[in-house]
Structure 1
Amino acid sequence: MNISITGHHITITDAMKDVVMDKLSKVERHFDQIQSIKVILSLDNNRSDTSHSGKNNHKAEALMRVAGQEMFVQSYDDDMYKAIHEMADKLDRQVRKYKTRIDRKTRSSKRKPSFAIPATEPVDESYAY
């Protein structure tokens, strides 16, 4: 799995990298067919509904690629570490949902159709119509 961590208006510290890697390893335990994860940690000083009345707002985003699909999550918080935890939890929920969906598809394709005709039974020819 290829993980890239970048910062936007913020310097990424070793502690932040360690927390991100630790949280994403838990996501990888649930689903091992992850191709890559791109994490963007940013600091937003805007005044908007998501930035809690103009306080310094930390945002953690992740774009994960698996075979045939991309999953995107983002979280906002006043503390970067809380935003990272929330982002990882959201990503974990999406991965578990995706895995359940894939398992259901493969399970249903392996099932025999319900309209299958049972093996032929010997016919009693003495029975007259």
Structure 2
Amino acid sequence: MQLDLSGHHVEITDAIREYTNTKFGKIKRHFDKVIDVHVVLSVEKLEQKAEATIQLNGSKIFAEDTQENMYAAIDNLVDKLDRQVIKHKEKTNAHR
């Protein structure tokens, strides 16, 4: 899994990078066919926004979350993506 992390109006520190890597490891444990992950962290006034696109075999999954804290936004984003990846995994297993 290749993780691409970028920031829009925010500097990506080592702490944020490490936190994001550990959180996205949760998705890798549930579904091992994740090819690429593109994460964009941005700040707009008082809102911290995290959005991500995951590329799987044959499909893409997108989610975003906005919070007052960047770490909370990353947590909620990973939870949303995890639910979507598990749903995708169940669909592909059911059709085979």
* 2:38 is aligned with 1:38: yes
The structure with the larger Rg is: 1
Distance 1:32 1:94 in 2: 14
Structure 1 residue ranges, 4+ long, deviating more than 3 angstroms after superposition: none
Which residue in 2 is equivalent to 1:95? 85
Structure in which a larger fraction of residues adopt helix: 2
CA RMSD of aligned residues (A): 0.5
Which residue in 2 is equivalent to 1:51? none
Distance 2:21 2:67 in 1: 19
Q: Alignment partner of 2:75: what SS?
A: helix
C-alpha deviations, 1:6-29, integer Å up to 9, x for none? 000000111111111011001000
* 2:68 is aligned with 1:68: no
- Offset at residue 74 of structure 1 (A): 0.2
Which residue in 2 is equivalent to 1:77? 67
Structure 1 residue identity aligned to 2:71: Y
C-alpha deviations, 1:40-89, integer Å up to 9, x for none? 000012xxxxxxxxxx1000000000011000000000000000000000
TM-score, normalised via structure 1 length: 0.73
- By relative contact order (CA 8 Å, sep 6+), the higher-ranking structure is 2
Query: Once the two structures are aligned, what percentage of the paired residues are identical?
Result: 38
TM-score, normalised via structure 2 length: 0.98
Structure in which a larger fraction of residues adopt strand: 2
The unaligned stretches of length 5 or more in structure 1 are 46-55, 107-129
